[in-house]
Amino acid sequence: MMTNLNTTSTIASFGTTNKSTNCTVEDISLGISLGVLYSLIFLIGLVGNVLALWVFLCIHKKKNSIYFLLVNVAMADLLLVVCLPFRVIYHLRGNKWSLGPTLCRVIGNMFYMNMYISITLLGLISIDRYLKIHRCKSRRKFLRGSWSVVICGITWAVALGCTIVMISTPEQMPNKEKCFHYRQTEKLNMDTWIKIFLVILFWLVYAALVVSYRKITIWLSKASKKKPDLPNAHKYSQTARKSFFVLFLFTLCFVPYHIVRIFYIISQISKTTCHWQNVADKANEVALVISTFNSCLDPAMYFLLCSSVRRTTKEALQKVFWQLDKGTTTTYSSEGKSLKDRRLSVGMICNPNVKTETLDMKM
């Protein structure tokens, strides 16, 4: 048995060797696929979240609780996709890291920090929608105006604090060319406790999402049946379906990863066979790609489910193309028009005096 295990470790040309079990966790087979998928997610997520932030910061004027929460979700998603090029280079180079262990820890932990900030804020949005649907008086004190800013600030501060702790925690890295890879800790250290805390946090947020959107859906369905003669009665059922769609996307992206994560952490802190270590590593990598794809779906959620965001974006883009077309036409008809004037005309789009619709995320 030991002879076969040693032979396996010798044959493997890439991987991370765990001294306690003399096992090589082999993940090179997924390298090219992961690099390509992360590249696509980076491009789509970058464009989508930059566009979302442009709409929120340059177009909308009303700053309610949803406004602040969505802006912070878009910022977290944008920072997450900014970390992806490092993963792309790492996987495309055959899972070899050449930028040093410190930057490896910084990029890896920043990636997870922004993912869990996004998860937490999406949970807060669901609670805000529930309170608004039920017209709770407590909503006047919860997630309104300055309160939403405070809650977002606390979320970022806690996440940053946990990230600093994980970055500063010393790690034994026998192979300096490895990053984002499977490692056995063999004991419960601070890094492991933070991982466990994040998994628990996710399931609490997911429970809040399920309860909130379930109650929203039930209330809207009852309202549409109770008053079917109202002019906007049909919109209740549409909003109920939208609520289910949001929950479906959240479940699709994050639930598989956090189910795998439980098994992954257990395999790291306990005596696990070499076979199951490899299974945990590959399952974690695949589930992580799916969870990262949420950074592309969040901007789509804004534009598909929020009529005001969709309408404002269309109007803004129409103005951009109209101004560019007008500038091109004027250039041919009057060559005296300066480039500075055309830039100013395009810049008027972000003028705060432009009338826009209020942001009202109907979920």
The fold of 19-310 is Rhopdopsin 7-helix transmembrane proteins (1.20.1070)
Domain boundaries, given as residue ranges, for the chain: 19-310
pLDDT at 17: 45
Indicate the residue type of 53.
L
Give me the residue label for tokens 């180079």: 93
Q: Tell me what the pLDDT averaged over the chain comes to.
A: 76
Contacts of 115 (CB under 8 A, 6+ apart): 76, 80, 291, 292
- Hey, what are 45's tokens? 């997520």
What pLDDT band is residue 346 in, cutting at 50, 70 and 90?
very low
What pLDDT band is residue 130 in, cutting at 50, 70 and 90?
confident
Residue 147 pLDDT exceeds 50: yes
Q: How far apart, in whole angstroms, are the C-alpha atoms of residue 360 and residue 107?
A: 35
In order of 161, 169, 179, 292, 325, the CA distances from 166 in angstroms are 9, 5, 15, 20, 51
Model pLDDT for residues 172-202, shown as the tens digit of each residue: 666 677 888 777 776 777 778 888 999 999 9
pLDDT at 15: 42
Q: How far apart, in whole angstroms, are the C-alpha atoms of residue 17 and residue 1?
A: 18
pLDDT at 160: 92
Contacts of 59 (CB under 8 A, 6+ apart): 312, 313, 316, 350, 354, 356
User: Which is more confident, 207 or 224?
Assistant: 207
Best-predicted range by mean pLDDT (134-148, 276-290, 303-317): 276-290
Pick from 11, 7, 5, 47: nearest CA to 23: 5
